[in-house]
Chain A
Amino acid sequence: MTDNISRSYLGAPHGVAAWLLTKDHKRIAMLYLISITIFFALGGIFAAGIRLELLTPKGDLWTPDMYNKLFTLHGVIMIFFFLIPSIPATLGNFLLPIMVGAKDLAFPRINLLSWYIYVAGALTTLAAVFNGGLDTGWTFYTPYSSIASETAVTTAAIGVFITGFSSILTGLNFIVTVHRMRAPGMTWFRLPLFVWAQYATSLVMILGTPVIAITVLLVGAERAFHFGFFDPRLGGDPVLFQHLFWFYSHPAVYIMILPGMGVMSELVAAVSRKQVFGYGFVAFSSLAIAILGFLVWGHHLFVSSQSIYAGLVFSIITMLVAVPSAVKTFNWAATMYKGSIMWTATTFWVLGFMGLFTIGGLTGLFLASMGLDIHLTDTYFVVAHFHYIMVGGAIMAYMGGLHFWWPKMTGKMYNEPGAIASAILVFVGFNLTFFPQFILGYMGMPRRYHAYPEEWQVLNVASTLGASVLFLGYLLPAFYLTWSLVKGKEAPANPWGAKGLEWTVPSPPPTFNFDEDPVVDEPAYNYKPTREVHVG
């Protein structure tokens, strides 16, 4: 291996045990990276199964039960085993300590434990997949999940329960690290915005995840012991489940997007070599989204028999939570004004995010407007909305971040044209897959249908065609990123000429991050024309 690698956290100590028993946050980030990539591929295979079935109006590829399992597992795997851990457990784990100037997270062993818990939860859920499957939808609505479904609901519930603790421990670790381990001079308002975003995400993780944990436990108890929390025959209210479930699962979507927004702040600043416009506003908007995000869950229950007055409160607060996201978007755009924009693959991911996230966020307004939601809820409009944010937003940000920090994490440069091609393929494929679904949704096509009226076939075929392009876009990085590990050029400490503590240490960093304990004496993104910026 090359010199820069052998001297880094990747080089020593050697051996499988040194990786599986590591306390180094950077190695743990790599363990997570490998795990979540495997699950992304698995979730993608299930997505392929869905889109192939939807090529034709009739349900002729899979049995109805098989299709129901495919969309359920696509959701469960993508959300719990890919999106929720993705940025926090890979980029967050790797970068957070370095960005605050620390040698590691506050609790390195708990960090490793969180990965093992993730693996345990994943294996348990896979056990459910291969022993009966799961067909309740990722939303597990009762009484179907608690009484009617004949699949491995209890096992899957246990799997999700276990995995939740991985999330909780990560969040706990990040909060304590940001509070207690900032280097001298690193005041709160000198922190990179990625750290603010991870901090806000961690608040959501620790407050929300325990609620889904107890909720799936209640469903498991109902199935295993015939307790009756959600059983209407005992006076239980199935809608109580929806409240408990969405109390977590709505904030969960902010767990999925806030880190991406944090990545975006870093990328936009670096790509533009400029201060993030409105730093304070962007920082506080992350907190606002985290807090407001806990107050809107009832917008999933407008037609569930929830009271109109509760609905009004949820609708208005949902409108409010859109505002900080808008503030961020405008601040990022303003950051690019009079910037010095570098055109690399990272830039393409940034531009893609800006467009797709804006669409995704705005389409939330359609659903937040109660009257309109009556028509749109439980249709493909919702499916399109959340994919625009989670794939068009979160995954684009994740890919952008992965590329931007790849040289830092691996010590290698990747193939630029390949990366640009990937970004473009993803952007084009994504839009072709999901834009038709807005139209299908307004036309009334319900979610979770494997057969549909003939007149909707053209749009469904377009969507599947888009999915094929999207698949190619995600396949490419598997090749050129892996290739870079073997044959990539050696990366300098600061290939992009960016500001940030992570760019002051070697690529890849040594095990304890800093050879000399850092002292911070400047704000974040301090791109001054008078200071020399060296590329490399």
Chain B
Amino acid sequence: MTERVSSHILGTFEGRIGEPGDPPPEPRAVLERIAERLERRTRTHLDHRFEPHGRSTIVVGEAFVGVLHTWPEYERFTLDVTRSGPGPDVEGALRATADELGWRPVRLHPSPHARVAALALAAGGVALLASTPATAVAYVGPGAGIALLTGFATLFFSMLLGLLSLLLYPLRLVHRRLTKKRAPQPARIKRAVVIGLDGLDPELAQRFMDEGKLPTLAKLAREGMFRPLATTTPAMSPVAWSSFATGVHPSKHGIYDFLTRDRHTYMPDLSSTDIGPPARVLKLGAWALPLSKPRIKLLRRSTPFWKILGEHRIPSAILRVPITFPPDHFDGIMLSAMCVPDLQGSQGTFTYCSCDAADGEAVGGEHVRLVAEEDRRLGSLPGPEHPLKKGERLRLPFVLERDGDAWAIRLNGASPVALPLAEYTEWVEIAYPLGWGLKLRGICRLRLLEGGDRPRLYVSPVNIDPARPVMPISQPFVFSIFLAKLIGKFATLGLAEDTWALNEGVLDEEAFLQQAWANHAEREAMFFEMLDRTDEGVITCVFDGTDRIQHMFMRYLDDGHPAAAAAPNHAKYGAVIEDTYVRMDAMLAKALEQVDADDPEQLFVVLSDHGFKTFRRGVNVNSWLMEQGYLVLKEGATASGEWFADVDWPRTRAFGIGLAGLFLNVRGREAQGCVEPEDAAGLAAEIAAGLTGLVDTDLDAVAVSRAWAKAELFTGPYADESPDVVVGYAPGWRASWRGVRGVVDDVVFDDNTKAWSGDHCIDPAHVPGVLFANRALGEGRDELSITDLAPTLLDLFGIPAPRWMDGSSLAPSAAGEAAS
């Protein structure tokens, strides 16, 4: 907005909407307050009106226009003020108001008089030069050089590139015609916009629609369709989104959980990506110089629909669909999401810095003890293993500097970054020195949790910098750089909302929400930029804030939840999930401004991979296995410790890893296997039968609806990698936190008192996802499945679904459509 009214801009201010901790007021209230103060200052009645337009606009009299952008997630607003004509001294009034209210001037532009004077001075200087011809040509210094280099040289280079691309276009067209197939049938749509809202629950959606809170989704349901969408078994995002992409069941894409087990160590391992060191290194003393690329391999098999579309000359833009790291090579654009690691190689390790050594380690995070030194606190940010030196861990020294009540951080001697209390910083660049001038770069956000003499600081997991990615996170490689330049730096970590930090009490609810909505704002920005650029083909974007927020705030919707009593501020956070659905609805409304839902050539789909239920009670299946004699501890041990430390493997027949899977300890398959391969199927069926209908003895209620032996579920080519038994918990139960961490003891059932209070890793029948569309899909079908989306998209673009796909098209037949 500032750019469009450049000639009379007075300035840009930034301010806080309310007091810290207050619920953010409506934009209108902010505008009223500003208008009222300005009227008082200028002693003039300033007639004003409001024009909500995504953001809000205030028009104050004839004197000036103020454009207000509210950022409720940051509790802040920015106000661009432009003089629109003669009138009272609004400049003075505005500046005085800003001082009074403590608004921070982001940019203050000189008054028109000062601007005229500056221009006159500049013109005079130029005229003086022009009057002395010998010197008029003299201005060829670095200023001109820089302007030429950055501005005009870029212009020249881009023109050259553009010209070249146009000249080569016919050749590329011919190449595409020769190397890519043509869709066998005519396409029925020109563009498909597929929006994934991870974890959007059909029951909650229906409830909020009935209450009139989701007008866009209600309109889609009314004029198009809305049905529950069957999810995968197990009902987890990596599994379900892989089935969405490939149109097949898990045993054909090989993803069964977030985690699988290492057959040699019995330790959990990431199921979707294999990351390892380079195969060849040159050892020079302590240094190990890589001679080949590190191993980064996507473990999802089968062929995603975007690859098939690309082979038929149909472009796709795939944004943040889970299990796409490293990205597929295909004819399209992709940004990876879930399972993209942080710089440490983990799925998100935050750092908590405090002066108290007793704070210790938090699950999912690391603790750094700050050393006090007068007005400074010293520490070092832990990083990953040194990629060039085995056994050495990178650390980045930092200093917290105090100036009165304010704290700032100086990372490795760089410029200080201000740390406002209880606010996130912008993305801060982190550069771990590797030696020889090399650096390992990433980005993070910081939040000062407490000031005073004993400051406490939260540092988010260090994300891969999208502008300088150290690992491939996009296809083509430059795509993430393009996005970072276009919309600014953004979170690249697969699970960017720090649920662990909230679970462990390092972040509070407010801090978590601010982080979640900041991440969402970045994703929304990239989605709308790409939607604008995708005229044909498929654009898909998955927003996963819905999932994370429901995980952490379900206790506010469930009065009887064990974590509800201790949950703070029910009045404030009780509506968070509802607010999340409402915001998603508003985003969809904005998207539909760019998509003509009535155009038969435009498909607009909203789906989720699963629904949500409360998670009140944990079931430690490993403890149950021990109770039933399938899992055995070492002599004398009564509990195993974490990660099966005291499990007697040669005598253990079954164990649980991940959120729903049990594995048998099969001889020849597991390192210390004791179950004969021919006995495995029978044992799996026996355990599944034992688990089905398992009663939570504390509540006398069924905790496991059903369990399946693998033979009942998985028949595809990668069935051998699946868990031997899959547990389908009843609503309200899930794998317990202790069980997931490999703790085996005599407690099978326990209360879930953590903030992570909602879940979906249960019997899939209870947590279907949703499918909304702007046209009727799946008419006449009893059940729609997430595996049906890929065949549907292919079908609508004129490509019959490959025979290996388990799903089938939900689109009406072309003949039937033509007839109707």
A binds B: no
